[in-house]
Amino acid sequence: MFGLFKSKSEKEKLQEKYKKLHKEAFILSKKDRSLADKKFAEAEEVMKKIEKLT
């Protein structure tokens, strides 16, 4: 409860963004493979940023 108003770190924000992009890419892969590939590429760019922070 005390962490309720704690702001998220940059790494936590990027991890959430990565998960969101990866989920969107998975959903798109069933309909449009080229769009899914773009989303996967975006997710990988976010992962590279996360790795730089650690």
In DSSP notation, 7-42 reads PPPHHHHHHHHHHHHHHHHHHHHTT-HHHHHHHHHH
What's the whole-number mean pLDDT along residues 11-33? 95
Residue 2 has pLDDT above 80, yes or no: no
53 closest CA partner among 14, 7, 8, 22:
14
Q: How does residue 8 score in pLDDT terms, banded at 50, 70 and 90? A: confident
Per the model's pLDDT, the better-predicted residue between 4 and 50 turns out to be: 50
**Measured between alpha carbons, how far is 42 from 40 in angstroms, rounded to an integer?**
5
Residue 3 has pLDDT above 70, yes or no: no
**Burial bucket for residue 39 (CB in 10 Å: 0-12, 13-18, 19+):** buried
Per the model's pLDDT, the better-predicted residue between 28 and 4 turns out to be: 28
